[in-house]
Amino acid sequence: MPSPNLMPKGNMFTTLQGSGSFTILTKALDSAQLSKVLASQPNLTLFAPTDEAFKALPPAELTALMLPDNAQILQKVLIYHLVNLQLDSAKIKGSKGKVPSVEASQLQLDGSGDVLKVDGADIIQPDVRATNGIIQVVDKVLIPPDVTIPSATALATPTGATPG
């Protein structure tokens, strides 16, 4: 998956908005009332899934996540992508361990290989420095271990498909 080539444009939210590769994420942040947090809260790290990452979810799951009835689930999923400290790639590289997300579950960081990872997702563009924090662009939507996305039957990989 190619890097979206995200460029800093002010705070974290305006940086994501200005890119064009994070339209699903910015819409989700708006509907979960988290855009103000990403615009004003200092010293955050956001593991930001691209539109491609969201589209890799089973369509029924993505649709279910965006329904107003599932706002609490969407909010939990989104805040799982947030860490309440600035984590740049230098802090991840060469180490392996857990870091608490804002959602309260632990994210597994892995900087032991050539590609930095968080919860098995590749960090495809590290260290985008917005005015109030760091954006690490990831190639998968991270799902907290204590969250079940509605339409769980869609979670099974179709025969012949390879998880990617």
pLDDT in tens, 68-124: 889 999 999 999 999 999 999 999 999 999 999 999 999 999 999 999 999 999 999
Judge whether 23 lies within some domain: yes
Judge whether 82 lies within some domain: yes
Tell me the three state secondary structure of residue 135. Answer: strand
pLDDT band at 43; cut points 50, 70, 90: very high
Judge whether 75 lies within some domain: yes
Report the number of distinct structural domains present in the chain: 1
pTM for this predicted structure: 0.89
Judge whether 160 lies within some domain: no
126-156: b (≥16 Cβ within 10 Å) or e = bbbebebbbbbbbbbbbbbeeeebebeebee
Q: Are 87 and 133 in contact (CB under 8 A)?
A: no
Judge whether 64 lies within some domain: yes
Each residue of 122-133: pLDDT tens digit? 999 999 999 999
CA 76 to CA 122: how far, in whole Å?
Answer: 21
Judge whether 84 lies within some domain: yes
Which CATH number covers residue 43?
2.30.180.10
CA 85 to CA 17: how far, in whole Å?
Answer: 22
Judge whether 108 lies within some domain: yes
CA 122 to CA 49: how far, in whole Å?
Answer: 10
Q: Are 1 and 124 in contact (CB under 8 A)?
A: yes
Residues 6+ apart with CB under 8 A from 131: 8, 10, 11
pLDDT band at 54; cut points 50, 70, 90: very high
Phi-psi region of 143 (alpha: psi -120 to 50; beta: other; left: phi over 0): beta
Judge whether 25 lies within some domain: yes
Can you give the residue range of the structural domain that contains 75?
A: 12-144
